[in-house]
Amino acid sequence: MEVPEVQYTKSGDVNIAYQVTGEGPFDLVFVPGYVTHLELQWSIAGFVPFLESLSSFCRLIRFDKRGTGMSDRVGGAPTLEARMDDVRAVMDAVGSQRAAFYGLSEGAAMSILFAATYPERTAALMVRSGFPRRMWAADYPWGRTEEEYVREVERELIPAAKALGLGILPYFPLASGLLTGKYKRGAALPPGSRLAKNPRHAQEFLSERNWRIVGELETFAARRGHTMLELAFSWLLRDGVVASVIAGATTSEQVEQNVRAAGWTLSAADLAEIDRISL
């Protein structure tokens, strides 16, 4: 089928990319999972039949969520309410007054909330692989703990990347600066720092568990004549799977520190001790 051009519409001050395919008798809004790219999806051989199938019986409306794909970049994690506004903006742009919704994975929650908030614009609702949350909570014992999640990445993702010859780019590899030593327990957050500008991330990263781990890792590094930053870089680059540590340096001094930090080769005993500390 002929692939139409990607279009844009405004949702507040954010440009949202969208694409419409098919000419069926009703509209279907596909709310995707974590990350998408409207153009690149057509180059994925296993995904094209899915798009063609949906487009064969409806007018398929797809979009890249704000902060992903061809839509504008944004800071932090958008709320479900902001993403609902994005969907309404796309529907308005294509003249869709009422549509069926197909929410996949992460998109399921927003689709359900949209249907409950705007029933007059929701003709039907389908969700697949949805989940209320990922992580453990007192009222959600089925979720993974933070420790289980971290170990799952190390146990499954890293070996798979090695086997396939792929690289990994960690998200927040230095925990928004927590692993650089810039934050100190009990002290005010440095003005202009990432965590000072993002209270939600500060609450997430500056947990009691993380303070304990960072304190022990700082002692571990100091006893070996190294800084916390050097330890963080050396651990991330220890086996060649991490293609790059995106450290977000803002000064030339930070760039020089980052380069020097990669020179420490951790021994098997060092790695075992780090694992013990971080459990």
Distance CA 171, CA 150 (A): 13
Distance CA 272, CA 84 (A): 46
Task: Work out the percent of the chain whose per-residue pLDDT is above 90.
Answer: 53
Per-residue HEC secondary structure of 134-149 comes to CECECCECCCECHHHH
- Largest alpha-carbon pair distance within the chain? 70
pLDDT confidence of residue 6: 98
Beta carbons of 173 and 247 less than 8 angstroms apart: yes
The pLDDT-based confidence of 1 (bands split at 50, 70, 90) is: confident
pLDDT confidence of residue 34: 82
pLDDT confidence of residue 245: 82
User: Helix count (H) and strand count (E) of the chain?
Assistant: 11, 6
Average pLDDT of 138-143? 89
pLDDT confidence of residue 249: 67
Backbone phi, then psi, for 60, in 5-degree steps? -85, 125
Position 14 pLDDT exceeds 70: yes
Beta carbons of 104 and 98 less than 8 angstroms apart: no
142 or 99, higher pLDDT? 99
Average pLDDT of 34-48? 92
> How far, CA to CA in Å, does 241 sit from each of 58, 146, 244, 267, 272?
43, 22, 9, 17, 18
Q: Which segments of the chain belong to CATH 3.20.20.100?
A: 167-278
Burial class (CB in 10 A: 0-12, 13-18, 19+), 202: middle
Of 243, 116, 250, 109, the closest CA to residue 177 belongs to 250
Yes or no: domain 7-128 corresponds to CATH 3.40.50.1820: yes
b or e along 154-181 (b: 16 or more beta carbons within 10 Å of the residue's beta carbon)?
Answer: eeeeeeebeeeeeebeeeebbbbbbbbb
Average pLDDT of 85-98? 98
Average pLDDT of 91-118? 97
Task: Please identify, in words, the CATH class of the domain defined by 167-278.
Answer: alpha beta
- Residue 181, token pair as written in the block: 């030593």
The pLDDT-based confidence of 263 (bands split at 50, 70, 90) is: confident
Identify the H or E element spanning 206: none
Q: Which segments of the chain belong to CATH 3.40.50.1820?
A: 7-128
Of 28, 27, 26, 8, the closest CA to residue 18 belongs to 8
Position 182 pLDDT exceeds 80: yes
Coil/strand/helix, residue 210:
helix
